[in-house]
A and B are shown apart, each in its own frame.
Chain A
Amino acid sequence: MREPTRTVQLLVNGRTHTVTVPVRKTLADTLREDLGLTGTHLGCEQGVCGACTVLLDGQPVRSCLLLAVQAAGHEVTTVEALGTPDRLHPLQQAFWEHHGLQCGFCTPGILISLVAFLRERPSPTREEIREALAGNLCRCTGYQNIVRAAEAAAAWMREPGR
Protein backbone atom coordinates (compact mmCIF):
# COMPACT_ATOMS: atom_id res chain seq x y z
CA MET A 1 0.00 0.00 0.00
CA ARG A 2 1.17 3.52 -0.80
CA GLU A 3 2.11 5.44 2.34
CA PRO A 4 -0.72 7.90 3.04
CA THR A 5 0.50 11.26 4.34
CA ARG A 6 -1.15 14.41 5.57
CA THR A 7 -0.02 17.98 6.11
CA VAL A 8 -1.01 19.30 9.52
CA GLN A 9 -0.32 22.27 11.72
CA LEU A 10 0.95 21.40 15.16
CA LEU A 11 1.00 23.90 18.01
CA VAL A 12 3.91 22.84 20.18
CA ASN A 13 5.24 24.89 23.10
CA GLY A 14 3.48 27.99 21.76
CA ARG A 15 4.88 27.71 18.21
CA THR A 16 2.97 26.55 15.15
CA HIS A 17 4.76 24.06 12.90
CA THR A 18 3.51 22.83 9.54
CA VAL A 19 4.58 19.26 8.89
CA THR A 20 3.79 16.63 6.29
CA VAL A 21 3.79 13.24 7.98
CA PRO A 22 2.72 9.68 7.26
CA VAL A 23 -0.66 9.24 8.97
CA ARG A 24 0.74 6.33 10.95
CA LYS A 25 3.52 8.40 12.51
CA THR A 26 3.11 8.87 16.25
CA LEU A 27 3.26 12.30 17.85
CA ALA A 28 6.34 11.16 19.78
CA ASP A 29 8.28 10.33 16.61
CA THR A 30 7.11 13.53 14.95
CA LEU A 31 8.22 15.67 17.89
CA ARG A 32 11.65 14.07 17.86
CA GLU A 33 12.30 13.59 14.15
CA ASP A 34 10.38 16.38 12.42
CA LEU A 35 10.52 19.11 15.06
CA GLY A 36 13.87 18.20 16.63
CA LEU A 37 12.34 18.16 20.12
CA THR A 38 14.29 15.19 21.43
CA GLY A 39 13.52 15.90 25.09
CA THR A 40 10.52 13.60 24.75
CA HIS A 41 11.91 10.09 25.13
CA LEU A 42 10.61 6.78 23.82
CA GLY A 43 10.98 3.71 25.98
CA CYS A 44 8.42 0.99 25.42
CA GLU A 45 6.29 2.57 22.65
CA GLN A 46 3.26 0.72 23.99
CA GLY A 47 1.99 3.11 26.63
CA VAL A 48 3.51 1.48 29.67
CA CYS A 49 6.74 3.29 30.59
CA GLY A 50 5.57 6.91 30.47
CA ALA A 51 8.86 8.34 29.15
CA CYS A 52 7.03 9.95 26.20
CA THR A 53 4.44 11.77 28.33
CA VAL A 54 3.55 15.24 27.01
CA LEU A 55 0.73 17.64 27.79
CA LEU A 56 -2.17 17.74 25.33
CA ASP A 57 -4.30 20.79 26.07
CA GLY A 58 -2.69 20.82 29.50
CA GLN A 59 -3.37 17.16 30.35
CA PRO A 60 -0.67 14.48 30.44
CA VAL A 61 -0.94 11.83 27.71
CA ARG A 62 1.31 9.22 26.11
CA SER A 63 2.69 10.70 22.89
CA CYS A 64 3.51 7.19 21.62
CA LEU A 65 -0.21 6.38 21.68
CA LEU A 66 -1.28 9.41 19.73
CA LEU A 67 -0.88 9.91 15.99
CA ALA A 68 0.67 13.21 14.99
CA VAL A 69 -2.34 13.93 12.78
CA GLN A 70 -4.57 13.61 15.84
CA ALA A 71 -2.70 16.40 17.62
CA ALA A 72 -3.73 18.97 15.00
CA GLY A 73 -5.98 21.56 16.61
CA HIS A 74 -4.63 20.83 20.09
CA GLU A 75 -1.92 22.45 22.18
CA VAL A 76 1.10 20.25 22.85
CA THR A 77 3.59 20.99 25.62
CA THR A 78 6.87 19.10 25.91
CA VAL A 79 9.65 19.10 28.50
CA GLU A 80 11.50 21.73 26.44
CA ALA A 81 8.89 24.28 27.56
CA LEU A 82 9.47 23.79 31.28
CA GLY A 83 12.65 25.75 31.92
CA THR A 84 15.99 26.81 30.49
CA PRO A 85 19.48 25.85 31.71
CA ASP A 86 19.74 29.30 33.34
CA ARG A 87 16.28 29.28 34.76
CA LEU A 88 15.12 25.79 35.65
CA HIS A 89 11.50 24.99 36.42
CA PRO A 90 11.05 24.41 40.19
CA LEU A 91 10.59 20.70 39.49
CA GLN A 92 13.81 20.56 37.45
CA GLN A 93 15.66 22.47 40.21
CA ALA A 94 14.31 20.07 42.83
CA PHE A 95 15.33 17.02 40.76
CA TRP A 96 18.81 18.53 40.48
CA GLU A 97 19.12 19.25 44.19
CA HIS A 98 17.68 15.94 45.40
CA HIS A 99 19.42 13.76 42.83
CA GLY A 100 16.03 12.82 41.38
CA LEU A 101 17.59 11.16 38.35
CA GLN A 102 20.33 8.71 37.59
CA CYS A 103 20.48 7.92 33.89
CA GLY A 104 17.74 10.50 33.23
CA PHE A 105 15.93 8.59 30.51
CA CYS A 106 12.57 8.56 32.29
CA THR A 107 12.93 12.11 33.65
CA PRO A 108 11.16 14.11 30.89
CA GLY A 109 8.02 12.01 31.25
CA ILE A 110 8.15 12.20 35.03
CA LEU A 111 8.57 15.99 35.00
CA ILE A 112 5.61 16.41 32.64
CA SER A 113 3.42 14.05 34.68
CA LEU A 114 4.32 15.90 37.89
CA VAL A 115 3.70 19.35 36.40
CA ALA A 116 0.10 18.34 35.72
CA PHE A 117 -0.25 16.49 39.02
CA LEU A 118 1.00 19.36 41.20
CA ARG A 119 -1.25 21.80 39.40
CA GLU A 120 -4.24 19.69 40.45
CA ARG A 121 -2.86 18.75 43.87
CA PRO A 122 -0.52 21.45 45.15
CA SER A 123 -0.18 19.81 48.60
CA PRO A 124 0.00 16.07 47.92
CA THR A 125 0.81 13.41 50.50
CA ARG A 126 3.77 11.14 49.87
CA GLU A 127 1.32 8.33 49.07
CA GLU A 128 -0.40 10.47 46.46
CA ILE A 129 2.95 11.33 44.86
CA ARG A 130 3.80 7.64 44.65
CA GLU A 131 0.46 6.93 43.02
CA ALA A 132 0.97 9.81 40.59
CA LEU A 133 4.32 8.30 39.61
CA ALA A 134 2.87 4.83 39.02
CA GLY A 135 2.47 5.55 35.30
CA ASN A 136 6.17 6.37 34.87
CA LEU A 137 8.80 3.66 35.10
CA CYS A 138 12.35 4.40 36.30
CA ARG A 139 14.55 1.39 35.66
CA CYS A 140 17.43 2.86 37.68
CA THR A 141 14.81 2.49 40.45
CA GLY A 142 15.66 5.87 41.90
CA TYR A 143 12.13 6.40 43.16
CA GLN A 144 13.10 7.51 46.70
CA ASN A 145 14.85 10.61 45.42
CA ILE A 146 12.18 11.24 42.79
CA VAL A 147 9.54 11.33 45.54
CA ARG A 148 11.74 13.63 47.67
CA ALA A 149 12.27 15.94 44.72
CA ALA A 150 8.53 16.06 44.04
CA GLU A 151 7.85 16.94 47.68
CA ALA A 152 10.48 19.68 47.64
CA ALA A 153 9.14 21.11 44.38
CA ALA A 154 5.58 21.09 45.70
CA ALA A 155 6.65 22.98 48.83
CA TRP A 156 8.62 25.47 46.77
CA MET A 157 5.78 26.03 44.30
CA ARG A 158 3.35 26.65 47.16
CA GLU A 159 5.42 29.55 48.52
CA PRO A 160 3.63 32.89 48.33
CA GLY A 161 4.61 35.02 45.39
CA ARG A 162 5.42 32.05 43.18
Chain B
Amino acid sequence: MKPPVFEYCDPTTVEEAVDCLAERGEAAKVLAGGQSLLPLLNLRLARPDCLVDINRLDELDYLHEEAGWLRVGARVRQRRVEESEEVARRVPLLAEAVRYVGHPQIRNRGTVCGSLAHADPAAELPGVAVALGARLLVRSRLGTREIPAEQFFTGQLTTALRPDELLVEAQFPVFPAGWGWAFVEVTNRHGDYALCGVAAGVYVEDRRVRDVRLAYVGAGPTPVRLREVELAAVEDFRAAGEEARARLSPDGDLHASAEFRRHLAAVLTGRALRRAFERATGGEPHA
Protein backbone atom coordinates (compact mmCIF):
# COMPACT_ATOMS: atom_id res chain seq x y z
CA MET B 1 0.00 0.00 0.00
CA LYS B 2 1.22 3.41 -0.92
CA PRO B 3 -0.06 5.71 1.83
CA PRO B 4 1.49 5.52 5.32
CA VAL B 5 -0.62 4.20 8.21
CA PHE B 6 -3.08 6.73 9.59
CA GLU B 7 -6.22 6.83 11.65
CA TYR B 8 -9.32 7.84 9.81
CA CYS B 9 -12.25 9.91 11.09
CA ASP B 10 -15.20 10.74 8.92
CA PRO B 11 -17.40 12.99 11.02
CA THR B 12 -20.92 13.89 9.92
CA THR B 13 -21.09 17.32 11.54
CA VAL B 14 -18.77 20.31 11.46
CA GLU B 15 -18.80 20.30 15.25
CA GLU B 16 -17.41 16.76 15.35
CA ALA B 17 -14.86 17.65 12.68
CA VAL B 18 -13.44 20.61 14.60
CA ASP B 19 -13.42 18.48 17.76
CA CYS B 20 -11.24 15.94 15.91
CA LEU B 21 -8.91 18.74 14.81
CA ALA B 22 -8.78 20.25 18.30
CA GLU B 23 -7.84 16.91 19.83
CA ARG B 24 -5.24 16.02 17.20
CA GLY B 25 -3.70 19.41 16.42
CA GLU B 26 -0.72 19.22 14.06
CA ALA B 27 -1.01 15.45 13.78
CA ALA B 28 -4.26 15.68 11.83
CA LYS B 29 -4.84 16.62 8.21
CA VAL B 30 -8.16 17.53 6.63
CA LEU B 31 -9.15 15.38 3.64
CA ALA B 32 -11.51 17.13 1.24
CA GLY B 33 -11.37 16.17 -2.47
CA GLY B 34 -8.00 14.50 -1.89
CA GLN B 35 -6.59 15.52 -5.27
CA SER B 36 -3.51 17.08 -3.67
CA LEU B 37 -3.38 15.29 -0.32
CA LEU B 38 -3.66 11.72 -1.67
CA PRO B 39 -0.69 12.15 -4.04
CA LEU B 40 1.33 13.49 -1.09
CA LEU B 41 0.29 10.47 0.97
CA ASN B 42 0.99 8.02 -1.86
CA LEU B 43 4.45 9.53 -2.24
CA ARG B 44 4.78 9.57 1.57
CA LEU B 45 5.71 13.22 1.45
CA ALA B 46 2.98 13.73 4.07
CA ARG B 47 2.65 11.43 7.07
CA PRO B 48 -0.24 12.65 9.21
CA ASP B 49 -1.28 10.47 12.15
CA CYS B 50 -4.92 11.11 11.42
CA LEU B 51 -7.08 12.08 8.47
CA VAL B 52 -10.26 14.03 9.12
CA ASP B 53 -12.41 13.32 6.08
CA ILE B 54 -14.97 16.10 5.52
CA ASN B 55 -16.75 14.41 2.63
CA ARG B 56 -19.67 13.41 4.81
CA LEU B 57 -20.31 16.97 5.99
CA ASP B 58 -23.50 17.50 4.00
CA GLU B 59 -24.01 20.81 5.81
CA LEU B 60 -21.05 22.24 3.87
CA ASP B 61 -22.45 21.27 0.46
CA TYR B 62 -23.95 24.61 -0.54
CA LEU B 63 -23.35 27.13 -3.28
CA HIS B 64 -25.48 30.24 -3.27
CA GLU B 65 -25.47 33.99 -3.31
CA GLU B 66 -26.29 36.06 -0.28
CA ALA B 67 -26.05 39.83 0.14
CA GLY B 68 -23.64 40.34 -2.73
CA TRP B 69 -21.38 37.40 -1.93
CA LEU B 70 -21.21 33.95 -3.52
CA ARG B 71 -20.83 31.47 -0.68
CA VAL B 72 -19.05 28.23 -1.49
CA GLY B 73 -19.21 25.55 1.20
CA ALA B 74 -16.16 23.36 1.81
CA ARG B 75 -17.80 20.25 0.31
CA VAL B 76 -18.56 21.92 -3.04
CA ARG B 77 -16.61 20.26 -5.84
CA GLN B 78 -14.94 22.27 -8.57
CA ARG B 79 -17.08 20.60 -11.22
CA ARG B 80 -20.23 21.95 -9.64
CA VAL B 81 -18.84 25.48 -9.71
CA GLU B 82 -17.80 24.97 -13.34
CA GLU B 83 -21.32 23.88 -14.32
CA SER B 84 -23.23 26.42 -12.23
CA GLU B 85 -25.10 29.09 -14.22
CA GLU B 86 -25.28 31.20 -11.09
CA VAL B 87 -21.49 31.26 -10.77
CA ALA B 88 -21.06 32.04 -14.48
CA ARG B 89 -23.45 34.98 -14.12
CA ARG B 90 -22.42 36.33 -10.72
CA VAL B 91 -18.70 35.57 -10.36
CA PRO B 92 -17.64 34.90 -13.96
CA LEU B 93 -13.92 35.12 -13.15
CA LEU B 94 -14.26 32.08 -10.86
CA ALA B 95 -16.24 30.21 -13.53
CA GLU B 96 -13.54 30.93 -16.12
CA ALA B 97 -10.60 30.01 -13.88
CA VAL B 98 -12.00 26.77 -12.47
CA ARG B 99 -11.90 25.17 -15.94
CA TYR B 100 -8.11 25.42 -15.84
CA VAL B 101 -7.87 23.30 -12.67
CA GLY B 102 -6.51 19.88 -13.66
CA HIS B 103 -8.89 17.74 -15.70
CA PRO B 104 -12.60 16.86 -15.35
CA GLN B 105 -11.54 13.68 -13.51
CA ILE B 106 -9.79 15.89 -10.95
CA ARG B 107 -12.53 18.52 -10.74
CA ASN B 108 -15.15 15.84 -10.08
CA ARG B 109 -13.53 15.30 -6.68
CA GLY B 110 -11.48 18.41 -5.99
CA THR B 111 -13.11 21.17 -3.98
CA VAL B 112 -12.78 24.95 -4.21
CA CYS B 113 -11.96 25.29 -0.52
CA GLY B 114 -9.50 22.40 -0.70
CA SER B 115 -7.57 24.13 -3.45
CA LEU B 116 -7.46 27.33 -1.37
CA ALA B 117 -6.33 25.51 1.79
CA HIS B 118 -3.65 23.60 -0.12
CA ALA B 119 -2.27 26.95 -1.35
CA ASP B 120 -0.16 25.79 -4.25
CA PRO B 121 1.53 28.95 -5.56
CA ALA B 122 0.75 28.01 -9.17
CA ALA B 123 -2.88 27.04 -8.55
CA GLU B 124 -5.62 29.06 -10.21
CA LEU B 125 -8.23 29.48 -7.46
CA PRO B 126 -5.99 31.18 -4.86
CA GLY B 127 -5.22 33.78 -7.56
CA VAL B 128 -8.93 34.36 -8.14
CA ALA B 129 -9.51 34.69 -4.40
CA VAL B 130 -6.78 37.31 -4.03
CA ALA B 131 -7.76 39.24 -7.17
CA LEU B 132 -11.38 39.50 -6.01
CA GLY B 133 -10.72 40.08 -2.33
CA ALA B 134 -12.49 36.87 -1.30
CA ARG B 135 -13.14 36.08 2.36
CA LEU B 136 -12.37 32.74 3.95
CA LEU B 137 -14.53 31.58 6.80
CA VAL B 138 -12.77 29.23 9.22
CA ARG B 139 -14.11 27.39 12.22
CA SER B 140 -12.61 25.83 15.28
CA ARG B 141 -13.91 24.77 18.66
CA LEU B 142 -13.25 28.36 19.79
CA GLY B 143 -15.58 29.83 17.17
CA THR B 144 -15.59 31.29 13.68
CA ARG B 145 -13.30 33.86 12.12
CA GLU B 146 -13.08 35.45 8.73
CA ILE B 147 -9.75 35.83 6.94
CA PRO B 148 -9.32 38.12 3.90
CA ALA B 149 -7.73 36.21 1.00
CA GLU B 150 -4.71 38.49 0.94
CA GLN B 151 -3.89 37.52 4.53
CA PHE B 152 -4.81 33.86 4.08
CA PHE B 153 -1.91 32.85 1.84
CA THR B 154 1.26 33.21 3.90
CA GLY B 155 3.78 31.17 1.90
CA GLN B 156 4.24 28.25 -0.42
CA LEU B 157 1.63 25.61 0.61
CA THR B 158 1.14 27.60 3.79
CA THR B 159 -1.91 29.50 5.02
CA ALA B 160 -3.09 31.40 8.06
CA LEU B 161 -5.17 28.37 9.08
CA ARG B 162 -4.27 27.07 12.55
CA PRO B 163 -4.05 23.28 12.97
CA ASP B 164 -7.33 23.26 14.89
CA GLU B 165 -9.18 25.24 12.23
CA LEU B 166 -11.31 24.04 9.34
CA LEU B 167 -11.91 26.19 6.27
CA VAL B 168 -15.69 25.90 6.04
CA GLU B 169 -16.57 28.44 3.38
CA ALA B 170 -15.11 30.72 0.72
CA GLN B 171 -16.97 33.92 -0.14
CA PHE B 172 -16.44 35.62 -3.48
CA PRO B 173 -17.87 39.10 -4.13
CA VAL B 174 -20.47 39.23 -6.89
CA PHE B 175 -19.31 41.24 -9.91
CA PRO B 176 -21.02 44.64 -10.00
CA ALA B 177 -22.13 46.07 -13.36
CA GLY B 178 -19.35 47.65 -15.38
CA TRP B 179 -16.68 45.12 -14.40
CA GLY B 180 -15.09 42.81 -16.94
CA TRP B 181 -12.98 39.80 -16.10
CA ALA B 182 -10.40 37.41 -17.52
CA PHE B 183 -8.32 34.50 -16.35
CA VAL B 184 -5.41 33.61 -18.62
CA GLU B 185 -2.47 31.29 -18.10
CA VAL B 186 0.30 29.50 -19.93
CA THR B 187 0.94 25.82 -19.25
CA ASN B 188 3.13 23.21 -20.89
CA ARG B 189 0.14 20.90 -21.33
CA HIS B 190 -3.60 21.34 -20.96
CA GLY B 191 -4.52 20.77 -17.30
CA ASP B 192 -1.05 21.37 -15.88
CA TYR B 193 -0.30 23.90 -13.18
CA ALA B 194 0.32 27.35 -14.64
CA LEU B 195 3.85 28.43 -15.49
CA CYS B 196 2.30 31.83 -14.96
CA GLY B 197 -1.32 32.94 -14.78
CA VAL B 198 -3.21 36.20 -14.33
CA ALA B 199 -6.63 36.83 -12.81
CA ALA B 200 -7.97 40.23 -13.83
CA GLY B 201 -10.94 42.47 -13.19
CA VAL B 202 -11.39 45.78 -15.01
CA TYR B 203 -13.98 48.45 -14.20
CA VAL B 204 -14.95 50.64 -17.12
CA GLU B 205 -17.07 53.78 -17.06
CA ASP B 206 -17.63 56.03 -20.09
CA ARG B 207 -15.24 53.79 -22.05
CA ARG B 208 -12.43 54.62 -19.62
CA VAL B 209 -10.71 52.24 -17.26
CA ARG B 210 -11.45 53.39 -13.71
CA ASP B 211 -10.25 50.51 -11.57
CA VAL B 212 -8.26 47.31 -11.98
CA ARG B 213 -7.70 44.19 -9.87
CA LEU B 214 -4.88 41.84 -10.83
CA ALA B 215 -3.38 38.77 -9.20
CA TYR B 216 -0.58 36.57 -10.48
CA VAL B 217 -0.09 32.86 -9.88
CA GLY B 218 3.11 30.93 -10.50
CA ALA B 219 4.98 34.18 -9.93
CA GLY B 220 5.92 33.91 -6.24
CA PRO B 221 5.37 31.76 -3.14
CA THR B 222 1.75 33.01 -2.88
CA PRO B 223 -0.64 34.67 -5.32
CA VAL B 224 0.74 38.15 -5.86
CA ARG B 225 -1.30 41.33 -6.07
CA LEU B 226 0.65 44.50 -6.84
CA ARG B 227 -1.08 47.82 -6.37
CA GLU B 228 1.51 49.58 -8.55
CA VAL B 229 0.67 47.32 -11.47
CA GLU B 230 -3.05 47.88 -10.98
CA LEU B 231 -2.58 51.65 -10.90
CA ALA B 232 -0.41 51.52 -14.02
CA ALA B 233 -3.14 49.47 -15.73
CA VAL B 234 -5.72 52.17 -15.15
CA GLU B 235 -3.59 54.40 -17.40
CA ASP B 236 -1.98 52.01 -19.83
CA PHE B 237 -2.17 48.22 -20.31
CA ARG B 238 1.27 47.84 -21.86
CA ALA B 239 2.92 49.85 -19.09
CA ALA B 240 1.18 47.59 -16.56
CA GLY B 241 2.77 44.53 -18.20
CA GLU B 242 6.21 46.14 -17.96
CA GLU B 243 5.54 47.10 -14.34
CA ALA B 244 4.69 43.45 -13.62
CA ARG B 245 7.86 42.27 -15.36
CA ALA B 246 9.94 44.64 -13.24
CA ARG B 247 8.28 43.99 -9.89
CA LEU B 248 7.60 40.26 -9.85
CA SER B 249 10.36 37.92 -8.69
CA PRO B 250 9.28 34.40 -9.56
CA ASP B 251 11.56 31.42 -9.02
CA GLY B 252 12.97 29.55 -11.97
CA ASP B 253 12.65 25.77 -12.07
CA LEU B 254 12.73 22.78 -14.39
CA HIS B 255 9.67 24.03 -16.28
CA ALA B 256 10.47 27.69 -16.81
CA SER B 257 13.23 30.13 -15.91
CA ALA B 258 12.50 33.15 -13.72
CA GLU B 259 13.09 35.39 -16.71
CA PHE B 260 10.62 33.48 -18.88
CA ARG B 261 8.02 33.66 -16.11
CA ARG B 262 8.48 37.43 -15.88
CA HIS B 263 8.08 37.63 -19.65
CA LEU B 264 4.88 35.58 -19.44
CA ALA B 265 3.59 37.85 -16.67
CA ALA B 266 4.12 40.91 -18.89
CA VAL B 267 2.41 39.36 -21.91
CA LEU B 268 -0.43 37.79 -19.94
CA THR B 269 -1.09 41.08 -18.13
CA GLY B 270 -1.90 42.76 -21.43
CA ARG B 271 -3.90 39.79 -22.69
CA ALA B 272 -5.98 39.56 -19.51
CA LEU B 273 -6.61 43.32 -19.35
CA ARG B 274 -7.69 43.53 -23.00
CA ARG B 275 -10.07 40.60 -22.63
CA ALA B 276 -11.50 42.00 -19.39
CA PHE B 277 -11.97 45.41 -21.03
CA GLU B 278 -13.84 43.86 -23.96
CA ARG B 279 -16.14 42.05 -21.60
CA ALA B 280 -16.78 45.17 -19.54
CA THR B 281 -17.76 47.10 -22.65
CA GLY B 282 -19.65 44.32 -24.40
CA GLY B 283 -17.06 43.62 -27.07
CA GLU B 284 -15.36 46.95 -27.64
CA PRO B 285 -11.58 46.57 -28.05
CA HIS B 286 -9.33 48.64 -25.82
CA ALA B 287 -7.92 51.66 -27.64
Contact = CB atoms under 8 A, between A and B. Distances in A.
Contacts, number: 95
A41 to B, nearest CB: 14
Interface of B: 1-8, 10, 34-35, 38-39, 41-43, 49, 51, 53, 55, 79, 102-106, 108-109, 189-191
A73 to B, nearest CB: 9
Contact of A60 (B35, B43, B49, B105): B105
Contacts of B105: 50, 53, 60-62, 113, 135
Interface stretch (A64-72, A76-84, A94-102): A64-72
A132 interface: yes
Contacts of B53: 67, 70
A155 to B, nearest CB: 22
Contacts of A3: 5
Nearest to A54: B105
Given A60-B108, A61-B108, A66 B189 contact: no
Contacts of B7: 1, 4, 23
A112 to B, nearest CB: 9
B33 to A, nearest CB: 8
Given A26-B38, A60-B105, A70-B55, 18 more contacts: A1-B7, A1-B49, A22-B1, A24-B3, A25-B1, A26-B42, A45-B42, A62-B35, A62-B105, A62-B109, A67-B38, A69-B8, A70-B10, A70-B34, A113-B104, A132-B104, A134-B189, A135-B104
A89 B43 CA distance: 35
A25 B59 CA distance: 27
A66 B34 contact: yes
16 contacts: A24-B1, A24-B3, A24-B6, A24-B41, A29-B2, A46-B43, A60-B108, A61-B105, A62-B35, A62-B105, A65-B39, A66-B109, A70-B34, A134-B189, A135-B103, A135-B106
Contacts of B108: 56, 59-61
A26 B38 CA distance: 9
A157 B41 CA distance: 40
Contacts of A45: 2, 42
Contacts of A26: 1-3, 38, 42
Interface string A16-31: 0000001111100100
Given A47-B38, A65-B38, A65-B39, A1 B104 contact: no
List of 6 A-B pairs having minimum Cβ-Cβ separation, nearest first = A135-B103, A23-B8, A46-B39, A65-B38, A134-B190, A24-B3
A159 interface: no
A6 interface: yes
B171 to A, nearest CB: 26
A131 interface: yes
A29 B42 CA distance: 12
Contacts of B104: 60, 113, 116-117, 132, 135
Nearest to A116: B104
Contacts of B10: 69-70
